[in-house]
Amino acid sequence: MSVAENQRQIFLQLVAALQPHWHTDRGLPERLQRLLARDRRFGSRDRRLYRELVYTVLRFRPWIEPLIESDPEEAVRMTAWLAADTRDTRAFRQAWLTGWPDCPPSLADKARHLGLAERDLLPDWMHEECPAAFTENELECLHRRAPLWLRLQTDTPDAVWAEFAGHDWAYEPSSVLSGAVRLPAEAGAAATNSYFSGAFEVQDLGSQLVLAAHDIRPGEHWLDACAGAGGKSLQLARMVGANGHITATDPRIEALAELKTRAHRAGLTNLTATPKFPDANYDGVLIDAPCSGTGTWRRNPHLKWCTTPESLRQQAERQFEILQAHAPAVRPGGRLIYATCSLNRTENEAVISRFLTLHPEFSAVPPIRNFGFTATPAGLTIMPARHDTDGFFTSCLQRA
């Protein structure tokens, strides 16, 4: 059996093992990782190949899935054609694309060549939740690999640039936010000396824009109430400076342990991580709420197929409860910042509207920076295409 034929069989076996879980498992990447880890024949390059092929199926599932049963070999060829051309996929693509034209860069041209529709790649319910996602630019962005974005934690990055150059990585500072840097998706930035010395953190530009949109001042004390592993906590700590302080809370002990490691690596001493919600009044409270993750679909394409209108409603109820629980921690005149990595009205504008109706002591405050987007009275939606980011929503509410 040739190498290409063996890879075809393994790929189809992986797809068959994952298919029953597409509609239910938000942890599908971990399931795939376990499947790959079981076979000791797979080296790191093999794992990257099969991961990219499976992710391609998930991105373009409505186009590819009908062929998996009716014509598996054609499904393999279409997957190879649509997959990113990387060092790990190149040999596979060359083996299976004999006679196929080069894959055009634009999604619209891909659809025309295949005689398929771009809008079929998103769930029907998304039309009502986020019509903007179906514009040509947004569809294009949601169906290509996400780049790697970094947030510098040093004011003298020359050593960082030198290390990137040594790896032959093309880096590009953001044109809209100082300190944000773009790298190719395949760059192994988290394995560099600069990363381990705390010179930068991996953080999507969209995530960085959420806080940069608001008036966060040096010397302030903030509560990050859904801190997780602390990407925004670390950014907040730099924004408030040495005279300010961040209290980061999360019920997951393992997430807080990771946050403490990252804060130590960054040399931050103005951040406290605790599983308990402190009883205090803060200049600001950040609610980076658990959400559906629809803004991260290009990074997590499996979420397209296990998210439903009902799951959105459940998330929105949870988000509203989190807002209610933490609003009293905002001092008079202080601010409550709400954020999600969702593009859905149900989790965003509707949650804010409901909260403001029940809490007249809070009022929406416009962002101080829009980054080219149009804010609504409820907040600011960061769509992916404009700055090549994940999608986010953020709203700032000020207490009287």
For the stretch 359-390, pLDDT in tens is 999 999 999 999 999 999 999 999 999 999 99
pLDDT band per the 50, 70, 90 thresholds, residue 277: confident
The CA-atom distances, in angstroms, between 302 and each of 49, 203, 233, 297, 305 are 17, 21, 27, 7, 6
For the stretch 139-190, pLDDT in tens is 999 999 999 999 999 999 999 999 999 999 999 999 999 999 999 998 999 9
CA dist., res. 125 & res. 249, Å (int): 34
- Segment 109-112 long-range contacts (CB within 8 Å, at least 24 positions apart): 110/82
pLDDT of residue 278: 77
Residues with a known catalytic role: 341
How many helices (H) and strands (E) in the chain?
A: 17, 12
For the stretch 198-236, pLDDT in tens is 999 999 999 999 999 999 999 999 999 999 888 999 999
pLDDT of residue 265: 95
For the stretch 79-91, pLDDT in tens is 999 999 999 999 9
In the CATH scheme, what is the code of domain 210-399?
Answer: 3.40.50.150
For the stretch 335-366, pLDDT in tens is 999 999 999 999 999 999 999 999 999 999 99
Where do the domains of the chain lie?
3-121, 148-203, 210-399
Of all residues in the chain, what percent carry a pLDDT higher than 90?
Answer: 92
Average pLDDT over residues 110-133: 97
pLDDT of residue 184: 93
Contact, 168 vs 187, CB < 8 A? no
Beginning with the edge strand found earlier in the chain, give each strand of the sheet holding 148-152 in spatial order.
172-173, 180-183, 148-152, 200-202
Residue 115 predicted with pLDDT over 80: yes
Q: What is the pTM of this model?
A: 0.95
Please give the helix or strand (H or E) that residue 222 lies within, else none: strand 221-224
CA dist., res. 44 & res. 177, Å (int): 34
pLDDT of residue 202: 96
CATH code 2.40.160 for 148-203: no
pLDDT of residue 141: 97
